[in-house]
Chains A and B, each alone.
Chain A
Amino acid sequence: MEVGLDWAAVLIAALAYLSALFAIAHWADRREAAGRSVIASPTVFALSLGVYCTTWTFYGSVGRAATLGIGFLPVYLGPTLLMLLAPLVLRKILRIAKVHRITSIADFLASRYGRSPLLGGLVALTATVGVTPYIALQLKAVAVSFDALTGGTGLGTATGPFLDHGFLIAAVMALFAIVFGARQIDAAEHHPGMVAAIALESLVKLIAFLAVGLFVVWGLHDGLDSLFGAAAARPDLARLMGSEPALGHAATPGLSGGGPWGAWVATTILSASAMLCLPRQFQVMVIESVDERHLSRAVWLFPLYLLLINLFVLPVALSGLLTFGARLDPDLFMVALPLKGGAGWLALLAFLGGLSAAAGMIVVETVALSTMLCNDLVVPILLRTRRRALARSADLAPLLLAVRRIAIVAILLFGYGYFRLAGSAYALVSIGLISFAAVAQFAPALIGGLYWRGATRRGAIGGVTAGTLVWAYTLLLPSFARSGWLPASFIADGPWGIAALRPYALFGLEGWDSLAHALFWTALANIGTYVGLSLFDRPGAAERAQAAAFVDIFQSAPGAVRPQGEQPPDWRSAASVGDLTRVVARFLGPQRAERAFAGADPDERAGPDRLRLAERLLAGAIGGASARVALASSVPAGAVETVELLRMLDETSDVIAHSRELERKTAELERATDALRAANERLTELDRLKDDFLSTVTHELRTPLTSIRALSEILHDDPDLEPDQRQEFLAVVIKESERLTRLINQVLDMAKIEAGALDWRIEPIDAGQTLAQAVAATEAVFLERGIALSVGIPDRLPLVRGDVDRVIQVVVNLLSNAAKFTPSGGRTRLDARLEGGSLRVTVTDSGPGVAAKDRDLVFDRFRQSGDTLTGKPAGTGLGLAIAKRIVEHLGGRIGLEDAPPGPLAESGKGAAFWFTLPVADGEQERRQPWIGGID
């Protein structure tokens, strides 16, 4: 203070430093254009996040530490906590921003909540009002530190050749922001020059702070021990090293004074949400992010940066208080201490560090705010009020850039004006945390919009509005009152003397820290309105689709789902490709438009796909909400109403959201078609079988009929026939008639069984008796043919489940079959024995047997092997088929194997037909001793 540096030298150093930043930014832009990006590095990304540390950190932390002890820390612990949640929250925001080409936090919220221009404008306005005074604070900090460095006095007015340092700084920053922040129209693209310069500035301010800290501790004092020892000797300083100023219950009112621990918690929460919601943080962290994998390094590197830059805050504060006492504003210790220690160059470095902090903040904040103001406030208004004028212009890019540049200049002028007006007023000093509290009003809608599908546009607008109003009442207006712009009684007695409305003790909530008090009431109003309105809202299809697109961002790959719906008829009256090309060219320039719609016929109807593409391109330039309105202007005047086109766009989003559903239904339909085709094939097969059956039956019936008819005709025509001959013919006629009858009976049986129309009397039956009956019925046939039939039935067989008549039919069929194929003089044997839980009956013959390949076929209808023996059908061909069906209906099995070699089949031939019948319930145990039979 006593010996200042030459102000001209300091000014030249500052300008040289700023020029170096310009050069770095220019170099980074060139590298980017050459394809060798310098910002595609996780370290650069983490450093660029350091824009969080403004002069409020660089100078203000020391000031806070001088009154609060470790109370300056929550502002940095909050962001540390938020970064720990980066894999959960930030990653999702980054992905959404990339897919939807988000240009700012206002655009993010507007896009999430049904592309609402109202919400976007509200957020842009709130952010501008809340944050611009913060920019004023930066200008003031630079001006004041300049004065401290050069020994000037006052607020940095009228010491230079220009208006003052504040104005000079504002002008240079505006130039930088315009050159590197508002050069291209596509705001969703990156600003490599700006980011590179920010990262460098972060490095410079860190190095400056560490250098000053090291100098103070080891240059001015003899290390930490000595410094803290000296401070401990002074009771007023000793208390700064305890927890009482930050966490205790000191009753000093106000934001900068000591407060209860509510302030600690409130500051932590507010700074965490500011890390996410401050326009400049959203800009560097989300919009400028090149690769979401960079997050995993920033998660620890950025908190480490915060830790390092805060390491020497308390030592510097204590040293300053020891050196200057109450004679100097603690905010200036960073510059004053090196100056006092005779290290002018270090003081200059500290000044440049502070300048870096201010410059970084101002540039990024103005770029972010100007994008917001342009895309979410000016463009929607222009599009609504000056549609015809805009439609005449072929290229709107210069206009948009001009809007952004004017916004940058306007914001800085506003900030500068606030700085000149407010000066050292309380309203400016406390603006840091007040700004945090303002942007924190976006946090519920932002976080809720990521995870809660039911959150709606009205809820978000209501929440942000309510929260901002309460914020203005509990923080902004009282800060005006304390600056003397409103009567002091506003705080002490409430407006019009209504005690319940006192802004620091709303509704009688007394004894709270003013920040914690404001956080409580704003959160209550904001979240309450947001949740309440959302719960009772009925959003439209488009808003729901957009909500799902944000919440389920990781479920669907971007662009993978294409709308498949057919073009509804009213599309035909809407935009053509040529219209779209014109509107995209108007905002993004002709080259981009040509590239986007290359190869399409300009007269062709645009269709949903191309409309979506155009909307995406426009969103990157002017934000999601404006993009839709701009598209509406693409339609030839009078062809279709704006409202109509907006509705169509909504439907398009809807189609995309529901096309997944459509795909699912298509798959189901395909499965159903396959099933139908299989059923149809089976029906065709059954039809063919029925035809076969009919023709076979007809053939079987005709054979006996033919012989009956032939013989009958002979008998009829020839009355002189020999009696013997006549007798023989009549015998044949009788036999064939019997065969015919049998055949018809069997066909009827078969049809009944297959139709399930047969009357079954299933009950426990005496197996031995039943078998004996069947044998008795066929004994005559064997006798006639000269075949020896032997029977092996145990004395006492268990009861089996069956129908007596049907079982007899089966056994008779099998015995008749054996009789048919056993040559005269052969043998047939019937055996029965228990096997497992069933009765096994076997009919063995000494006939020719059945070839292995035919064994599965003999049980089919009309399969006869008889002709292999005699050359003509020996049976109806239905006997075995009927037997099989009866046995299976009774729950048994039927089969055929070679006759076992032995006395019965000397030739080694012969067949053994067998079937099983289940033993009746409760019979098995009682009959155990007879298992195996007694043959």
Chain B
Amino acid sequence: MSAAKGDAGRDPGSARYRDRMIGLFLLAAALFNPPLLGLFGVEGKILGVPLLYGWVFGLWAAVIALAALAGRTR
């Protein structure tokens, strides 16, 4: 949860940042919903965690990481 220094002063209105976030929203909306999510409802484990559970949280973390990066990289 260490907060990055760089993002506080960034303009949240820049078109590039905005477009990236809209793209990320569409991607996340597709991945977080039944047809795609249901594909992982199978038996199996990943790192000792049920596959579906690990997949959802992994995906969630990746989306958050991308959201943080979207405002930081050019």
CB distance from B27 to the nearest CB of A (A): 9
If the complex has contacts A243-B52, A247-B37, are A77 and B60 also in contact, measured as CB distance less than 8 A?
A: yes
CB closest residue in chain A, given B27: A84
B68 and A300 within 8 A (CB): yes
**Interface residues contributed by chain B, number (CB under 8 Å):** 44
0/1 string, B63-74, CB within 8 A of A gives 1: 111011001000
Within 8 A of B (CB), among A56-94: 70, 73-74, 77, 80-81, 83-88, 91
Whole-angstrom CA separation of A77 from B53 in the bound complex: 14
| Total cross-chain contacts (CB, 8 A) | 124
If the complex has contacts A243-B40, A303-B60, are A228 and B45 also in contact, measured as CB distance less than 8 A?
A: yes
Within 8 A of A (CB), among B36-60: 37-38, 40-43, 45, 47-50, 52-53, 56-57, 60
If the complex has contacts A80-B28, A84-B21, A84-B28, are A243 and B38 also in contact, measured as CB distance less than 8 A?
A: yes
CB closest residue in chain B, given A73: B56
A296 and B7 within 8 A (CB): yes
Looking at A74, A87, A241, A295, which has the most chain B CB atoms within 10 Å of its CB? A87
CB distance from A722 to the nearest CB of B (A): 104
User: Which residues of the partner chain A approach B50 to less than 8 Å between Cβ atoms?
Assistant: 228, 232, 241-242
CB distance from B38 to the nearest CB of A (A): 5
CB closest residue in chain A, given B67: A300
A299 and B41 within 8 A (CB): no
Task: Name the one of A224, A292, A294, A303 contacting B63, with C-beta atoms under 8 angstroms.
Answer: A303
A88 and B18 within 8 A (CB): yes
CB closest residue in chain B, given A41: B8
Q: Does A37 contact B (CB under 8 A)?
A: no
Task: Name the one of A84, A268, A301 contacting B1, with C-beta atoms under 8 angstroms.
Answer: A301
Task: Name the one of A70, A268, A296 contacting B71, with C-beta atoms under 8 angstroms.
Answer: A296
Whole-angstrom CA separation of A554 from B11 in the bound complex: 14
CB distance from B26 to the nearest CB of A (A): 9
User: Which residues of the partner chain B approach A88 to less than 8 Å between Cβ atoms?
Assistant: 18, 21-22
If the complex has contacts A224-B49, A228-B48, A264-B34, are A307 and B64 also in contact, measured as CB distance less than 8 A?
A: yes
User: Which residues of the partner chain A approach B18 to less than 8 Å between Cβ atoms?
Assistant: 87-88
Looking at A83, A293, A311, which has the most chain B CB atoms within 10 Å of its CB? A293
A84 and B12 within 8 A (CB): no
A241 and B25 within 8 A (CB): no
A81 and B29 within 8 A (CB): yes
User: Which residues of the partner chain A approach B49 to less than 8 Å between Cβ atoms?
Assistant: 224, 228
A297 and B53 within 8 A (CB): no
User: Which residues of the partner chain B approach A934 to less than 8 Å between Cβ atoms?
Assistant: none
User: Which residues of the partner chain A approach B11 to less than 8 Å between Cβ atoms?
Assistant: 293
B34 and A85 within 8 A (CB): no
0/1 string, B7-24, CB within 8 A of A gives 1: 111111100011001101
User: Which residues of the partner chain B approach A265 to less than 8 Å between Cβ atoms?
Assistant: 33-34
Whole-angstrom CA separation of A42 from B3 in the bound complex: 9
Q: Does A244 contact B (CB under 8 A)?
A: yes
A70 and B53 within 8 A (CB): yes
If the complex has contacts A87-B17, A264-B33, are A293 and B10 also in contact, measured as CB distance less than 8 A?
A: yes
Q: Does A223 contact B (CB under 8 A)?
A: yes
CB distance from B21 to the nearest CB of A (A): 5
User: Which residues of the partner chain B approach A268 to less than 8 Å between Cβ atoms?
Assistant: 32-33
Q: Does A770 contact B (CB under 8 A)?
A: no
B67 and A83 within 8 A (CB): yes
**Interface size range of chain A in the complex:** 35 or more
User: Which residues of the partner chain A approach B24 to less than 8 Å between Cβ atoms?
Assistant: 84
B12 and A307 within 8 A (CB): no
Within 8 A of B (CB), among A77-124: 77, 80-81, 83-88, 91
Q: Does A737 contact B (CB under 8 A)?
A: no
Q: Does A619 contact B (CB under 8 A)?
A: no
Within 8 A of B (CB), among A225-281: 225, 228, 232, 241-244, 247-248, 261, 264-265, 268
Whole-angstrom CA separation of A36 from B25 in the bound complex: 36
CB closest residue in chain A, given B59: A77
CB distance from A204 to the nearest CB of B (A): 15
A295 and B12 within 8 A (CB): yes
User: Which residues of the partner chain A approach B63 to less than 8 Å between Cβ atoms?
Assistant: 80, 84, 303
Task: Name the one of B12, B32, B61, B67 contacting A293, with C-beta atoms under 8 angstroms.
Answer: B12
CB closest residue in chain B, given A265: B33
Within 8 A of B (CB), among A886-901: none
A244 and B41 within 8 A (CB): yes
CB closest residue in chain A, given B10: A296
Q: Does A304 contact B (CB under 8 A)?
A: yes
Looking at A248, A268, A300, A303, which has the most chain B CB atoms within 10 Å of its CB? A300
If the complex has contacts A84-B24, A300-B67, are A293 and B3 also in contact, measured as CB distance less than 8 A?
A: no
Q: Does A184 contact B (CB under 8 A)?
A: no
CB distance from A369 to the nearest CB of B (A): 29
User: Which residues of the partner chain A approach B33 to less than 8 Å between Cβ atoms?
Assistant: 264-265, 268
CB closest residue in chain A, given B51: A241
Whole-angstrom CA separation of A265 from B35 in the bound complex: 11
User: Which residues of the partner chain B approach A295 to less than 8 Å between Cβ atoms?
Assistant: 12
Whole-angstrom CA separation of A784 from B17 in the bound complex: 93
CB closest residue in chain A, given B24: A84
A224 and B37 within 8 A (CB): no
CB distance from B44 to the nearest CB of A (A): 10
CB distance from B63 to the nearest CB of A (A): 7
Whole-angstrom CA separation of A311 from B32 in the bound complex: 16
User: Which residues of the partner chain A approach B65 to less than 8 Å between Cβ atoms?
Assistant: 300
- Report A's interface with B, CB cutoff 8 A: 42-43, 70, 73-74, 77, 80-81, 83-88, 91, 223-225, 228, 232, 241-244, 247-248, 261, 264-265, 268, 292-297, 299-301, 303-305, 307-308, 311, 314, 554
Apart from the given pairs A73-B56, A74-B32, A243-B41, 8 other A-B contacts in the complex at a CB distance below 8 Å: A223-B48, A244-B41, A294-B8, A296-B8, A296-B71, A299-B12, A299-B71, A300-B67
The 7 A-B pairs with the shortest beta carbon distances in the complex, nearest first, are A243-B41, A225-B48, A241-B50, A300-B68, A261-B34, A84-B25, A300-B67
The contact sample of 25 A-B pairs, CB cut-off 8 A, is A42-B8, A77-B60, A80-B28, A81-B29, A83-B67, A84-B21, A84-B24, A85-B25, A87-B12, A87-B13, A224-B47, A232-B50, A242-B43, A247-B38, A261-B34, A297-B3, A299-B21, A299-B71, A300-B65, A300-B67, A301-B3, A303-B64, A307-B61, A311-B57, A554-B13
